[in-house]
């Protein structure tokens, strides 16, 4: 996944499976959440205990399922930021299982203030992402 500069490895848990023995579609969104959280921690030095001045929420999430993910398949989630708007951050994802693409996804996140209203992405966040992604 060279085109995805940020990657995490995940284990498929038994509880992730649906009655057909595949990872449930909703769990794939959780896998993307793990990647976003890791990205924010590693790229922006944000932690759940101390998120700093980063107030970013997911405004849109789209997933495209290509193939099922089986129990005990090695899973890798790749993430890349594709655009930085005034108040938004657009990202693309890829979930691979056993080395093959299982899910592609895209999200738009929006920076918000304490009331939940959109605000500008903080300049230091913009700079850290741009440096990391070479935007």
pLDDT for res 55: 84
Closest to 84 in 3D by CA, of 55, 105, 111: 111
C-alpha–C-alpha distance, residues 135 and 124, integer Å? 14
pLDDT for res 47: 64
pLDDT digit of tens for each residue in the chain (135 aa)? 459 999 999 999 999 999 999 999 999 999 999 999 999 999 988 766 555 556 889 999 999 999 999 998 899 999 999 999 999 999 999 999 998 999 999 999 999 998 989 999 999 999 999 999 998
Q: Which residues contact 5 (CB under 8 A, 6 or more apart)?
A: 80, 132, 133
pLDDT for res 48: 60
pLDDT for res 66: 97
> Model pTM?
0.91
pLDDT for res 45: 81
Q: Which domains does the chain have, with CATH numbers?
A: 6-133 (3.10.129.10)
Q: How far is CA 64 from the centre of its chain?
A: 14
Contacts 24+ apart (CB under 8 A), 20-28: 20/68, 21/70, 21/71, 22/68, 22/69, 22/70, 23/68, 23/69, 23/70, 23/97, 25/63, 25/65, 28/63, 28/65, 28/69, 28/95, 28/102, 28/103, 28/105
């Amino acid at each position: 996944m060279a085109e995805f500069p940020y990657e995490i490895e995940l284990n498929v848990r038994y509880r992730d499976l649906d009655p057909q023995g595949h990872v449930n579609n909703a769990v794939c969104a959780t896998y993307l959440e793990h990647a976003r959280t890791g990205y924010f921690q590693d790229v922006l030095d944000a932690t759940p205990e101390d998120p700093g001045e980063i107030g970013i929420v997911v405004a849109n999430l789209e997933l495209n399922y290509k193939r099922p993910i089986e129990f005990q398949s090695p899973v890798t989630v790749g993430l890349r930021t594709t655009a930085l708007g005034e108040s938004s951050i657009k990202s693309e994802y890829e979930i691979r299982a056993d080395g093959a693409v299982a899910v592609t996804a895209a999200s738009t996140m929006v920076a918000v203030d304490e009331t939940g209203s959109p605000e500008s992405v903080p300049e230091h966040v913009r700079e850290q992402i741009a440096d990391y992604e070479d935007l």
